Amino acid sequence: MNPKFRFLAVIASAGAISLAAPAITVAAPTDATDHGITSVTLAPSFLSALESLGVKPGAVAPGRMVQRHGNTVAAFPITTGAIDLGAVKGEIDHAGGLSLSAGTNRVELTGFAIEVYPKAAPVLTGLVTVDGSFVGRSPLFDLSLANAALSKHEERLAIQNVAIRLDPAAAAALSNVFHTSVPAGLSIGTATVRTSLDDGDEGWSE
């Protein structure tokens, strides 16, 4: 079976980890997100696992992957979204993405959307392209806000220490594409989200 169809079939059939969001309560109306950046400090164990599997990670522009203080950091511009801090729900959309390559196979994960809703596990979904063929939007990474720190100053919002793990469905699908075993629940790293709300003139930068 063509890798892209295996990817879609496994995504559709596999389950997802359930991670509970903490009770972050801030009395606020819904705000639009209109500037900013999400930076992910990639876990050394994640990079080592990819290397051992023969999979090379890369950035899809305008996303970037840089070295900072001895760590590999992937950064993705925030394009739009909406967030309700009082109800702890929202969606934050990004440009760019990640590529995973091994031999003749290449998977691109782009159009990231952080999705947080009541009674649902926080998740990051993305658009999946396998060997140049678009597959669809799928859950990619499970998010944990258990140790997250939220701060808001005027029209700037920062959410730090968001833990990221590979969604079991995505792990199974990647294993099929690359003909290897990609472990579910693999720690991807820790994210920091910095965004401006409404029509703030000053956006966040790295």
Residue 142 token pair: 């499970």
pLDDT in tens, 7-56: 444 444 443 333 334 444 444 578 999 889 999 999 999 999 999 999 99
Kindly give, in sequence order, each residue whose CB lies less than 8 Å from that of residue 82, ignoring residues fewer than 6 positions away.
Answer: 30, 31, 32, 33, 90, 91
- In the three-class reduction of DSSP (H, G, I as helix; E, B as strand; rest coil), residue 182 is classed as coil
Residue pLDDT, tens place only, 163-188: 999 999 899 999 999 999 999 999 99
Residue 171, token pair as written in the block: 């792990």
Long-range contacts formed by 143-152: CB under 8 A, 24+ apart = 143/19, 143/114, 143/116, 143/191, 144/19, 145/21, 145/22, 145/24, 145/116, 146/19, 146/20, 146/22, 148/22, 148/24, 150/24, 150/26, 150/85, 152/26, 152/28, 152/85
Percentage, residues of the chain above pLDDT 90: 75
pTM here?
Answer: 0.84
Fill in the DSSP letter of residue 204.
P
Residue 115 is inside which H or E element, if any? strand 105-116
- Spans of all domains in the chain: 3-16+31-193
pLDDT bin (cut points 50, 70, 90) of residue 102 is: very high
Whole-angstrom CA distances from 179 to 7, 34, 71 are 11, 40, 28
What are 69-83's pLDDT values in tens digits? 999 999 999 999 999
Q: How far is CA 90 from CA 20, 104, 114, 122, 161, in A?
A: 15, 37, 8, 10, 18
Using CB atoms within 10 Å of the CB of residue 114, give its burial: 0 to 12 exposed, 13 to 18 middle, 19+ buried. Answer: buried
